[in-house]
Amino acid sequence: MRQIFHDELEQIASDLVELAGLVATAIRQSTEALLEADVQLADRVIEGDRAIDDRRNDLDARSVDLLARQAPVASDLRTVVASMRMSSDLERMGDLARHVAQVARMRYPEQAVPTELRETFMRMGSIAERIVTEVAAVILSQDVAAAGEIERIDDELDVLHREMFTLLAEGAWQHGTTSAVDVALLSRYFERFGDHAVTVARRVNFLVTGQAGAVELPEESERS
Amino acid sequence: MRQIFHDELEQIASDLVELAGLVATAIRQSTEALLEADVQLADRVIEGDRAIDDRRNDLDARSVDLLARQAPVASDLRTVVASMRMSSDLERMGDLARHVAQVARMRYPEQAVPTELRETFMRMGSIAERIVTEVAAVILSQDVAAAGEIERIDDELDVLHREMFTLLAEGAWQHGTTSAVDVALLSRYFERFGDHAVTVARRVNFLVTGQAGAVELPEESERS
């Protein structure tokens, strides 16, 4: 019985990792769709978000089923509950990738991002993809040190997000209102990838160390 | 044993209602802080968000404790799991109220919202407050018809959100970039109150009818 339970817990962890993999792909593709004004790729991300939602719903249904059949307590129970919360963060990251793709789609055949900001958004996309890949590794390894590294990567995203808002300040911006609004929302989406990744990492940290700390979303920067 | 369990479930429902009440107050106060450029009130909302987070953490801890002690199955288990998800949506609505207050604080002593948009934001704030108040009633009453009413109220928010983005379109906007970005983000925050309320209502609906439907966040409008 106990062995079956632990096999099932491992299956849930491995499904979370797979979910994170789907999200990493969605982030990479949505960034590319945005920067290349690739409407087919944007549509693929938008369509693909359903698969992420379905995967998350399956995972949660199995977690609830596990609770019902095995009635775990103590750390086993906390692990199942934490898994359901992590799946929620990952699913939300999938939504954010969809939002990025939707901006690309809406501006097509125009570029949503002014030329001189392409580089910054490319970096944000690449950091966001890296952070969710790291998250997958942390879920598997339960490595608390790596969980700390995720907070450091998130700081990089926050710095870029603040830079973006400096560029949007009165007088500095030369690309009109629509573009300013697009850039503000896009920058916020990328910054939120980081927040959700940090939340997942903190949940892993909590499971391993039992130290509560802040398991909710980190404080977002004031401007976001 | 069973009676105690149901008393505890009722306590959790009544705590959710209380949490919704705190969120309704935060929404009302953050809207007022925004429209009156009232920095003291903004600070109260920002500070008060911690109480909402704490309340949610307490509630979730008791839900986990209930799972551990009582090992509920079937609909009882689904109710506890759904409660944890609802608390997460309500807590996130508290964050959104904090974001609104932070915009008010950042622009103080200026007004963040141009004069001719005050009326629209006042309506958005009032609808958002109403929708969370309705959500509290639905959690208590488990009234499926009222849950449907929440989707209708959310539509009102969506309409105002789309109107706002029409005003932000190229050529129409006369208030500069900073203000455009503020208005875009604020409008998105208010629109998101509605999405989270709908999610909570659908969870109640699911508990009562057993009809899954979409229990995740509703599709957001493309532009948000």
Question: Each residue of B8-59: pLDDT tens digit?
Answer: 999 999 999 999 999 999 999 999 999 999 999 999 999 999 999 999 999 9
User: Chain A contacts of B184, Cβ < 8 Å?
Assistant: 181, 184-185
Closest CA to B84 of B219, B212, B203, B216: B203
Q: What ipTM goes with this model?
A: 0.91
B-side interface with A, Cβ within 8 Å?
A: 53, 57, 64, 67-68, 71, 73-74, 77-78, 81, 84-85, 88, 91, 95, 99, 102, 105-106, 165, 168-170, 173, 176-178, 180-181, 184-185, 188, 216-217, 220, 222-224
Give B45-69 pLDDT, tens digit per residue: 999 999 999 999 999 999 999 999 9
pLDDT band at A221 (very low <50, low <70, confident <90, very high): very low
Best of B58, B105, B177 to disrupt the A interface (most A CBs within 10 Å) is: B177
Per-residue pLDDT of B181-210, as tens digits, reads 999 999 999 999 999 999 999 999 888 887
pTM over cut 0.90: yes
Whether residue B161 contacts residue B221, with contact meaning beta carbons closer than 8 Å, is answered with yes
A178 vs B168: CB contact, 8 Å cut-off? yes
Mean pLDDT for chain B overall: 92
* A146 pLDDT above the threshold of 80: yes
In chain B, whose CA is at the least distance from the CA of A61?
Answer: B78
The residue extents of the domains of chain A are 1-209
Across the A/B interface, how many CB contacts are shorter than 8 Å? 83
Name the more confident of A147 and B157: B157
CATH of A1-209, one of 3.40.50.720, 3.40.50.10800, 1.20.58.220, 3.30.750.24: 1.20.58.220
